[in-house]
Amino acid sequence: MSRQLLVPLALAQFIASYACTAMNVAVSSIAHDLGTTVIGVQTAITLFTLTMAALMIPGSKLSDIWGRRRCFALGLVIYGLGALLAALARGEPALILGYSILEGVGSALLIPPIYILVTVSTSELSSRAKGFGVISGAAGMGAASGPLIGGLLTTGISWRAAFVLQVAVVALVLILSRRIVEPRVEGARPRLDVVGAALSAAGLLFVVLGVLQAGAYGWFIAKQDFAIGGVVLIHEGGVSPVWPLMGIGALILLGFFLHVRRRERAGREPLLSTRLFRSRASNLGLVTQNIQWLVLQGASFVISVYLQTVRHYSAVETGLILTPATIGMLLTSALAGRLARRRSQRFLVRAGFVATALGMVLLLLLAPYTSAIAAFIPGLLLMGMGVGVMLTASVNVVQSSFPEPEQGEISGLSRSVSNLGSSLGTAIVGSVLVSGTALGGRPFAAALLTVVVIALLGLGAAMLLPSAPATPRATHRADAEVA
């Protein structure tokens, strides 16, 4: 796979992942500079996640309609404009419009083509695995280095410099992407299912919004009044708003799937075909993808908070301590092609979960009982290596289960599932951390142990992945499976 394809795609994935985590270390600075509150800035971060998750599936469909390269370039332009507006913001509304809305829309347009272009550029599994390894490594490096780079820029220059960096990288990617050659798509281009796009976006929005309430209100019993526009909808002690909001999202998604079935029966193309859920390998791959991002974001969040609140390290020091995890992800991602030639994707997903869980267990055993920073290195390195192995392999399982005409749909579904996992990871560990009585008053250990248990559930799903490879058929596949 050529460098002229991988370099711009990897840079784009890096900056999109960086944007998700760099803001966390600049919340206080942004709030002070814009004359708003920490909650106001956190709202902007939440809206960014919501926008990206809600529009990822429609964005992937547009890549089939407009063309992958064109959609990628359009997403970059919108993203870059959003970053520029955020850098120049003088108040919270401009920050929300630039960062939350425009960057979120841009991400939804540019991320699906990244994975589609890698998939359709080669049919050879190890070459595809190498490509996904580079992209996954860039995603992991962006997420892991976001706090470090954001902390350095915020401390040394200004939080605005973190957005200026995004503008500069986007401009570079736009220049490099002019050399991307997109494989020609045969046949008529599909039309956008507007009703399906609206239903899928609204359903995912409510699901993610519900999950994000867990940190503030708890998972089951509301720890405070839940009010909208000054009207209390759920009183303290009532059911947590997590479930009503997720219930609304589930009902909307049910309506979406009924709408999809009606369009298919009428011979009209839906936003998302039900054929995508007939592959056992892909379904299990989506489960493992969701859990992998949950584990990555959840573990990164709890470790970062622990280092800053218990060990009292600065944002820059925290980013430096997390560097072994980044190195581990880069190392295994770089070896993805070689590993795919020697081992099945199923084996790599399983091995990744085992290594990740062992790494977190090492952190639990070593880090709390010594002040030495070196105690973090073995666990973080092993965790990073595990995540790097399984992220690449799971993406390969899912994308390789379908032929080229359906890459747009499965890419959007795959990215939506991953974003949902990221939101779940932060929400779950956040809800555990706010419980001071967890494990005898050790909420950080309880939160990390929770992530370990979830990783073991992911390992259980990986154990069910089929072993026999199968070549995906263009239409009416019964069960396309990838080793």
Q: Is residue 479 part of a domain?
A: no
Q: Is residue 469 part of a domain?
A: no
408 in the same domain as 336:
yes
CATH no. for residue 118? 1.20.1250.20
Q: Mean pLDDT of residues grouped by 10 in the chain (483 residues)?
A: 82 86 75 79 76 83 85 94 94 91 92 83 72 77 76 84 93 90 68 88 84 78 85 88 92 93 88 84 91 86 78 75 82 76 87 94 83 85 89 82 75 78 75 58 82 94 77 41 35
pLDDT computed for residue 468 by the predictor = 54
235 in the same domain as 105:
no
Contact 290, 413 (CB under 8 A): no
pLDDT computed for residue 351 by the predictor = 93
Residues 6+ apart with CB under 8 A from 401: 279, 281, 282, 285, 410, 472, 480, 481, 482
98 in the same domain as 66:
yes
Sign of the Cα pseudo-torsion (38, 39, 44, 50, in order):
positive
Q: Is residue 474 part of a domain?
A: no
276 in the same domain as 241:
no
238 in the same domain as 333:
no
Q: Is residue 278 part of a domain?
A: yes
CA distance 376 to 379: 6
Matching residue, tokens 């080669």: 122
pLDDT computed for residue 144 by the predictor = 67
368 in the same domain as 262:
no
pLDDT computed for residue 190 by the predictor = 74
Whole-Å CA distances, 36 to 30, 42, 158:
8, 11, 17
Q: Is residue 349 part of a domain?
A: yes
CA distance 24 to 145: 12
284 in the same domain as 266:
no
Count of domains in the chain? Answer: 2
The pTM of this model reads 0.77
Q: Is residue 471 part of a domain?
A: no
Domain boundary among 270, 295, 328: 270
138 in the same domain as 259:
no
Contact 54, 208 (CB under 8 A): yes
Which range of residues forms the domain containing residue 58? 3-181+271-463
Contact 237, 223 (CB under 8 A): no
pLDDT computed for residue 96 by the predictor = 92
209 in the same domain as 72:
no
Contact 410, 283 (CB under 8 A): no
Q: Is residue 237 part of a domain?
A: yes
| Two tokens, residue 101 | 């809305």
Q: Is residue 473 part of a domain?
A: no
336 in the same domain as 224:
no
pLDDT computed for residue 439 by the predictor = 45
Question: Residue 132: what residue type?
Answer: F
Q: How many other C-beta atoms can be found within 10 angstroms of the C-beta atom of residue 267?
A: 6
214 in the same domain as 87:
no
251 in the same domain as 291:
no
Domain boundary among 245, 270, 295: 270
Instruction: Give the torsion through C-alpha atoms of 2, 10, 115, 107, to 10 deg.
Output: -140
